């Protein structure tokens, strides 16, 4: 004996009739209204999604649209993402100014001082770990901080000391031997270019490294060469990651990915965790994927490493080489460098395109280049960051 039967009623206004249709297999599906942001667990206890779950859900929705959505739907999603000014995807341009201005306005409303407002605003930017009181490029973005536990922001005091210990251990795992060997052996360098062992931009900087190493009797020049070697090794690893928007996790797990990236497992674990989200795709299996927010973070690391590797100076030819490697607009890359504390000067650079020479817009770049970094009045990195305007323009008025 069946205790009850479920049916769906369909009312037709034109006929004024209600038609009842039995539910297939006599199973009842509950149609409850549910609130966004709550997890309806079997126990009935709800809670807010954590950041990783929310990010995974958004990433899954984006993949569905990319795979099956119409061109119009993909354009709508891209436009909506571009309109979101999130703290972790800011790297330069008007969005930065708008965000900083908003922080400034709220800070003034709370009665904060100018210095407090600026500190709160700068904490929102996507800037690699740095030493705000530094007066030289290598002290501004130390290798030990870039490879330390902090992914962004100023790192000072006891936190800096702890970060340097951990980051220093990972810095020793960079493949500096390969950089040194290629800089000293022309035949190996030619083979590296042919077989694409390292990014072409890194290979293009080995001549300057060898020029420094040729003066072995000068301890200062040798120290500079060792520093440049380490930053070029880091830059090579970062550019390798930049070319891989997603990485499938195979049976070997982290060991296999480290081998693919030519990194030690510890270094691979740090960089993958910093610049990717791990997802479990039912169709593709587990993999690392990089959302736009982490793309901006990776870009800031690449730019910082490239500038410090060349001791705080990029001429226009180097700027163009790096811009071409990153496939960026020149003005946008200059703006991103400005957010790191670099000074930029616009100009033109001659390049050969399709057999003819053309002029392209480019910029010369410098970071903390000053006569005496140890002078009492030497400029610090914090003073090189873009100045924050605390006054908001009146509606309809000129900025």
The domain segmentation of the chain, as residue ranges, is 88-312
b vs e for 170-183, b when ≥16 Cβ sit within 10 Å of the residue's Cβ? bbebbbbebbbebb
User: What is residue 110's predicted lDDT score, i.e. its pLDDT?
Assistant: 59
Q: Give the separation between CA 43 and CA 52, rounded to whole angstroms.
A: 22
Positions in the chain whose pLDDT score sits under 70: 1-5, 23-33, 36-56, 79-125, 216, 388-399
Task: Give me the pLDDT at residue 94, please.
Answer: 52
Whole-angstrom Cα distance, residue 235 to residue 302?
6
Q: Which two tokens stand for residue 266?
A: 């510890």
Q: For residue 348, what are the contacts with CB-CB under 8 A and spacing of at least 6?
A: 316, 359, 360, 361, 362
- 258 Cβ neighbours under 8 A, 6+ residues apart: 264, 265, 267, 268, 269
Q: Quote the pLDDT of residue 91.
A: 47
The pLDDT score that the predictor gives to residue 292 is 84
Integer Cα distance of 173 and 330 in angstroms: 33
Q: What is the pTM of this model?
A: 0.70
Query: Would you state the pLDDT for residue 114?
Result: 57
Q: What is the pLDDT of residue 362?
A: 95
* Residue 325 to residue 201: CA distance in whole angstroms: 7
Classify 281 as helix, strand or coil.
Answer: strand
Residue 273 near residue 290, CB atoms below 8 Å: no
């Amino acid at each position: 004996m069946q205790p009850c039967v479920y049916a769906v009623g369909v009312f037709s206004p034109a006929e004024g009739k209600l038609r009842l249709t039995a539910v297939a297999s006599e199973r009842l599906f509950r149609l409850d209204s549910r609130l966004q942001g709550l997890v309806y667990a079997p126990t009935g206890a709800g809670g807010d999604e954590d950041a990783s779950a929310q990010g995974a859900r958004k990433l899954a929705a984006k993949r569905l649209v990319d795979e099956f959505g119409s061109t119009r739907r993909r354009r709508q999603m891209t436009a909506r993402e571009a309109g979101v000014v999130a703290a972790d995807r800011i790297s330069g341009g008007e969005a930065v100014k708008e965000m900083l201005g908003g922080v400034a306005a709220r800070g003034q409303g709370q009665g904060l001082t100018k210095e407090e407002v600026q500190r709160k605003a700068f904490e929102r930017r996507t800037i690699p770990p740095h030493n705000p009181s530094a007066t030289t490029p290598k002290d501004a973005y130390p290798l030990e901080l870039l490879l330390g536990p902090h992914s962004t922001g100023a790192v000072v005091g006891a936190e800096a000391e702890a970060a340097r210990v951990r980051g220093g251990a990972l810095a020793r795992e960079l493949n500096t031997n390969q950089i040194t060997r290629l800089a000293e052996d022309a035949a190996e360098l030619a083979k590296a270019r042919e077989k694409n062992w390292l990014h072409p931009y890194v290979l293009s900087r080995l001549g300057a490294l060898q020029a420094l190493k040729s003066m072995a009797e000068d301890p200062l020049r040798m120290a500079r060469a060792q520093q440049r070697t380490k930053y070029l090794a880091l830059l090579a690893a970062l550019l390798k990651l930049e070319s891989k928007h997603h990485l499938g996790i195979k049976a070997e797990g982290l060991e296999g990915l480290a081998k693919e990236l030519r990194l030690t497992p510890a270094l691979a674990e740090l960089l993958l965790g910093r610049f990717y989200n791990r997802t479990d795709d039912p169709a593709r299996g587990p993999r690392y994927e990089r959302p736009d927010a982490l793309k901006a973070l990776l870009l800031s690391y690449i730019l910082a490493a490239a500038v410090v590797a060349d001791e705080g100076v990029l001429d226009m030819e180097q700027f163009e080489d790096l811009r071409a490697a990153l496939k960026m607009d020149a003005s946008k890359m200059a703006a991103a460098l400005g957010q790191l504390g670099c000074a930029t000067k616009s100009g033109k650079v001659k390049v050969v395109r399709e057999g003819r020479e053309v002029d392209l817009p480019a910029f010369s770049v410098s970071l903390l280049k000053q006569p005496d970094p140890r002078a009492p009045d030497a400029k610090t990195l914090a003073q090189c960051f873009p100045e924050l305007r605390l006054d908001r323009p009146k509606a309809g008025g000129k900025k």
